[in-house]
Amino acid sequence: RRRRHGWLVHRGEDVADLFEQAVASFTRVAELRPADEQPWLGRGLARANWAAMLIERGTPVPEDLFAAAETDFAESLRRNPFESYAWRFRGLLRINRGLERDREARSPESLYAEAAADLERAAELEPAAVTTRIEAGQAHQKRGEWRLQRAEDPAPAFAEAEACFAK
């Protein structure tokens, strides 16, 4: 085994069962503590990491995995709209979802815009989180690159990226 990007990657092994176990555990905690945002955040993060691992392996990500993670982050934010990690992780999930859409030759532009908005909100809640501002800039940059590939004006997206990077 080797550790990559916050999860264990087993050589030649299907680790879906590990992610399924994590999702089941967070589901149980959410049942026991329904008002708490943390189980929803944890379950969304487990699903988001599962999707990221599939992307890294070049495996198509089922749309329902993205949708379930996004729903979990939304539930976490409904319970606590000031949870910067939920905003950040939902933004990063949306970037990955956009990458998957782009790979499928579908428009990722709205996902990149939503990702940037989530990441900017996270940065507002945690002003010292420089990495989050950089990630917001990267979401705007991805949107600009996509527009450029389609011969559309990328300047507004690149300007927003530059503004994030300059903060």
CA dihedral 95, 43, 64, 122 (to 10 degrees): -30
- For the chain, the average pLDDT equals 91
Encode pLDDT of 72-107 as tens digits: 999 999 999 999 999 999 999 999 999 999 988 899
Is pLDDT above 70 for 149?
yes
C-alpha to C-alpha distance for 156 and 140, rounded to whole angstroms: 9
Gap between the Cα atoms of 36 and 53, Å rounded: 27
Q: Is the pLDDT of residue 112 over 70?
A: yes
Region 141-162: mean pLDDT is 96
113 pLDDT tier (thresholds 50, 70, 90): very high
Predicted model pTM:
0.89
Burial of 39 (0-12, 13-18, 19+ CB in 10 A): buried
> What was the pLDDT predicted at 98?
96
Q: What is the pLDDT of residue 17?
A: 86
Determine the average pLDDT of the residues in 42-46.
Answer: 97
pLDDT confidence bin for 9, thresholds 50/70/90: low
Burial of 119 (0-12, 13-18, 19+ CB in 10 A): buried
Instruction: Summarize the confidence of residues 108-121 as an average pLDDT.
Output: 97
- Looking at residue 13, what is its pLDDT? 60
pLDDT confidence of residue 131: 94
